[in-house]
Structure 1
Amino acid sequence: MSLSSPHVKWVTTVFVILALVAAFVFGTAPKASATINYGEEVASVAKRYVGSPYKWGGTTPKGFDASGFTQYVYKHAATKKAIPRTSAAQYKIGKSVPQSQLKQGDLVFYATGKKGVVSFVGIYSGNGTFIGVTTKGVKSVKMSDTYWKTKYMGAKRVVQ
């Protein structure tokens, strides 16, 4: 008994479908995984507030001071991380990071008042810049600018 051409095509089609179903059901599919880079996400959130006004003691988008800004961003980013209120207290948390190894989201600290005393903090945003609050509001600032370069105190990584 021989199969005619239409029967061969039909049997072949059924066989291919069954093989595909078997491969799908019993095969190993790669597991999807999504990871979040919290540092990049923190920097991204910080950038959203560029242009927000400065306000002494401010902790909201209606007006920020430097440490109020960093505290707000960390709390409202995916990290949901609560960090201390002042730049001096923020300087005491996290892991110290050499300037050459900064990653987005790291906190960068400066002595803008008394020499050698941390009084300002910003969020590193990559490419030698940070997002921080000056008297002109939230801005992106080059760390290599003369003013900032001479006042740099260090950096801390508080999220991975």
Structure 2
Amino acid sequence: MKKNNILSKTVKSAVCVTIALSVFAFGAAENKTYAATPKSKNLIASSKNYIGTPYQYGAKTGDTDSFDCSSFTQFMFQSFGVWLPRTSAAQASMGKKVDRGSLSMGDLVFFNTNGRSISHVAIYAGNNQIIHSSSSKGVTISDMNSSYWKGKYVTARRVL
């Protein structure tokens, strides 16, 4: 009986340690930060200059009086020597796929806001923040872990 009790306590301890290590390991991976490059930091700084610029669906490429989400990302990346296609869905095929836990400043982040497919693109600004052209606020910074954005995340791409 005493042997079974010791064995039971040992097994319980091992299970607790395994659970604790798993939670730590998965939690650490989610919060892992990747170093931003000087180019990506400049991209974010430049993007912030457009905060408050109004939203216009189908805004013309190169027009800086208004943006939709993909014309904003297209314009910002073009000014850093990276050509992107005009739509968010097309931009989602560019560059290298990045896991959500491996995001770095300057990564393109894609969302499904229409319930069908990729329909929104933003630039990852670090610390779970995105800079994008929102239909309600124009160019703005949002928390991608907010209740609105968190469930709409689809993928991310690194093009810088």
TM-score tier (shorter)? 0.7 to 0.9
Counterparts of 1:103 and 1:53, CA distance in 2: 26
Task: Determine the structure 2 residue equivalent to 1:66.
Answer: 69
Superposed CA deviations along residues 31-75 of structure 1, whole A, max 9, x for unmatched, are: xxxxx6222221121111111110111142211000000000011
Q: Please give the residue correspondences for 1:96-111 in structure 2 after superposition, counting only pairs within 5 Å.
A: 96-111=97-112
1:80 offset after TM fit, Å? 1.7
Q: Deviations over 1:101-128 (max 9, x none)?
A: 111110000001133x101000001110
- Following TM superposition, where does structure 1 have runs of at least 4 consecutive aligned residues deviating by more than 4 angstroms? none
Distance in 2 (CA, whole Å) between partners of 1:103 and 1:50 is 20
Q: What is the CA deviation profile of residues 91-147 of structure 1, one whole-angstrom value per residue up to 9, with x for unaligned ones?
A: 0011111111111110000001133x1010000011100001111200000001111
In 2, Cα distance between the equivalents of 1:92 and 1:132?
18
Partner of 1:9 in structure 2? none
CA distance in 1, matches of 2:45, 2:133: 15
For the residues of structure 2 that align with 1:121 and 1:87, how far apart are their CA atoms? 5
Please give the TM-score of this superposition, normalised by the length of structure 1. 0.72
> Distance between the aligned counterparts of 1:89 and 1:37, measured in 2?
26
Partner of 2:78: 75
Name the larger-Rg structure.
Answer: 1
Contact 1:41 1:105 in 2 (8 A): no
Question: Contact 1:108–1:154 (CA<8 Å) still a contact in 2?
Answer: yes
Unmatched runs of 5 consecutive residues or more in structure 1: 1-35
Amino acid at match of 1:90: Q
> Partner of 1:29 in structure 2?
none
Partner Cα separation in structure 1 for residue 91 and residue 41 of structure 2:
19
List gaps (5 residues or longer) in structure 2. 1-36
Aligned-pair Cα RMSD in Å: 1.2
Higher mean C-alpha deviation, range 58-67 or range 36-45: 36-45
